[in-house]
């Protein structure tokens, strides 16, 4: 059993959907669960629909949704022949599901409507792709993951009810594989026991694939992306960046923690629990080996570079010149949690706490105002945060040459520089 997850970039046009079919043909002997994301920027487009609807701009919301409908109907038109009518009929059912909501007035909170509307992006794409694969002789069955993933009602970041979801997979998914080699479903979404749609939060499609991998006891989980694998730096910033053939689960989580655009840590846990490898492969060139993430410790990794631009540093100074102790640190963390702000770096001096966060005007203003009740506060902006994993003194010196180092934190494996 293999789990394949195809992200939005890998299904964002007709040619790439055809590539998807070619990739599946490379694995003719395996049972496969294929998890599909929304096409391209569909999720972003649907978010605009939700905002217009919630702000009371019903006609604008309907117009925006009409554009999304036409895009998907056109994609189906170019891909499908014998199943075109049946697919259009299923899409129209999903369209009606959204339009019914858009003709109403919002009486619940934003996150509820977000999930009821944004969830359809994955339903549209997977419906079209499943039909296309069947027309190409790649026999599969489509299933609605909302009938499989049972979640709580924490809309936009729903938690999966593992016990009920495992039962649903056993009762509803496993029997499909008696007749089909491929089951096509959606990532990112689920449903409550009241059949209200939910979304699983950041990187929810990767997480969906990992949960399927765990509960189906998969041989591995492969995420198909538009890159050759996981690289030691962003190639747009570092042209000499290289693909890392292997990584440990822990190393990947460390990279994500420091801001590397890799797999979200919540995706790793279901796989680590059963020691299931995660493979990141390139859908543009499937022959490339990609990156394998597993439990083994990998030695001699190259330096890993992560740069976060647009950083702000809050200098929080003790008002009475008393030492910064546990009470002050505790108060700071309480404020950060209260404002839902994740610090990128914290450093303590005798009478000063320094907190580096992403430069988001509202959040900084709120945090500075709240902290001013306890500390004297100064805010410094226009900074960048450089993190180097597996650094050498030479690489650190080279990367900071000609820049003013505002802060530095260092451990045996990682060094961070806040730079002006």
Q: What is the pLDDT of residues 1-14, one digit of tens each?
A: 999 999 999 999 99
Q: What is the pLDDT of residues 139-173, one digit of tens each?
A: 999 999 999 999 999 999 999 999 999 999 999 99
| Burial (Cβ within 10 Å: 0-12, 13-18, ≥19) of residue 29 | exposed
Is the pLDDT assigned to residue 327 strictly greater than 80? no
Is residue 288 helix, strand or coil? coil
Q: What is the pLDDT of residues 109-127, one digit of tens each?
A: 999 999 999 999 999 999 9
**Mean pLDDT computed over 198-224:** 95
The size of the chain, in residues, is 420
CATH of 2-226, one of 3.30.70.580, 3.40.1210.10, 3.40.1160.10, 3.20.20.70: 3.40.1160.10
What pLDDT does 5 receive? Answer: 98
Share of the chain above pLDDT 90, in %: 84
Q: Burial code of 388-416, b = ≥16 C-beta within 10 A, e = fewer? A: bbbbeeeebeebbeeeeebbeeeeeebbb
What pLDDT does 87 receive? Answer: 98
Query: 79-93, 107-121, 344-358: which has the minimum mean pLDDT?
Result: 344-358
Spatial contact of 217 and 68, defined as CB atoms under 8 Å apart: no
**By C-alpha distance, which of 257, 325, 263, 326 is closest to 294?**
263
Q: Would you place residue 175 in the very low, low, confident or very high pLDDT band (cuts 50, 70, 90)?
A: very high
Is 304-419 the same fold as 2-226?
no
Q: Please give the structure tokens belonging to residue 192.
A: 């409550």
Q: What is the Rg, in whole angstroms, of the alpha carbon atoms belonging to the chain?
A: 24
| Domains of the chain, residue spans | 2-226, 304-419
What pLDDT does 322 receive? Answer: 74
Full-model pTM: 0.91
* 304-419, CATH topology level: VC0802-like (3.30.2130)
d(CA 170, CA 141): 16
Q: What is the mean pLDDT of the chain?
A: 95
Cβ neighbour number for residue 197 with a 10 Å cutoff = 22
Is residue 300 helix, strand or coil? coil
**By C-alpha distance, which of 230, 207, 368, 372 is closest to 289?**
230
Spatial contact of 94 and 127, defined as CB atoms under 8 Å apart: yes
């Amino acid at each position: 059993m293999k789990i394949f997850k195809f992200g939005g970039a890998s299904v964002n046009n007709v040619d790439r959907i055809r590539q998807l079919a070619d990739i599946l043909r490379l694995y003719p002997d395996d049972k496969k669960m294929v998890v599909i994301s929304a096409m391209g920027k569909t999720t972003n487009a649907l978010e605009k629909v939700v905002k217009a609807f919630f702000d009371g701009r019903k006609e604008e919301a309907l117009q925006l949704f009409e554009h999304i409908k036409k895009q998907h109907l056109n994609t189906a038109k170019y891909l499908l022949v014998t199943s075109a009518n049946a697919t259009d009929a299923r899409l129209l059912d999903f369209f009606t599901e959204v339009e019914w909501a858009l003709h109403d007035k919002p009486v619940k909170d934003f996150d509820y409507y977000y999930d009821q509307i944004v969830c359809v992006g994955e339903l549209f794409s997977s419906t079209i792709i499943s039909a296309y694969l069947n027309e190409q002789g790649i026999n599969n069955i489509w299933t609605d993951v909302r009938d499989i993933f049972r979640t709580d009602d924490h809309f936009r970041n729903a938690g999966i009810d593992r016990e009920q979801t495992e039962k649903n997979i056993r009762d509803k998914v496993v029997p499909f594989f008696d007749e089909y080699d491929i089951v096509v479903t959606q990532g990112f979404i689920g449903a409550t026991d009241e059949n209200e749609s939910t979304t699983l939060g950041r990187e929810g499609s990767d997480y969906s694939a990992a949960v399927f991998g765990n509960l189906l006891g998969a041989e591995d989980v492969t995420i198909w992306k538009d890159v050759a694998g996981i690289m030691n730096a962003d190639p747009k910033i570092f042209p000499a960046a290289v693909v890392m053939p292997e990584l440990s689960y822990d190393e990947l989580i460390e990279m994500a923690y420091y801001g590397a655009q890799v797999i979200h840590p919540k995706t790793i846990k279901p796989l680590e629990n059963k020691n299931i490898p995660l493979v990141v492969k390139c859908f543009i060139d499937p022959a490339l080996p990609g990156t394998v993430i597993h439990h083994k410790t990998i030695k001699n990794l190259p330096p890993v570079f992560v740069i976060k631009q647009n950083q702000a540093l809050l200098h929080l100074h003790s008002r009475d010149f008393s030492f910064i102790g546990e009470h002050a640190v505790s108060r700071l963390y309480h404020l950060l949690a209260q404002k839902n702000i994740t610090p990128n770096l914290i450093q303590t001096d005798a009478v000063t706490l320094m907190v580096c966060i992403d430069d988001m005007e509202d959040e900084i203003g709120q945090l500075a105002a709240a902290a001013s009740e306890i500390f004297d506060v100064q805010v410094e902006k226009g900074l960048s945060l450089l993190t180097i994993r597996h650094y050498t003194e030479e690489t650190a010196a080279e990367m900071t040459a000609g820049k003013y180092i505002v802060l530095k934190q260092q451990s045996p494996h990682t060094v961070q520089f806040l730079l002006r």
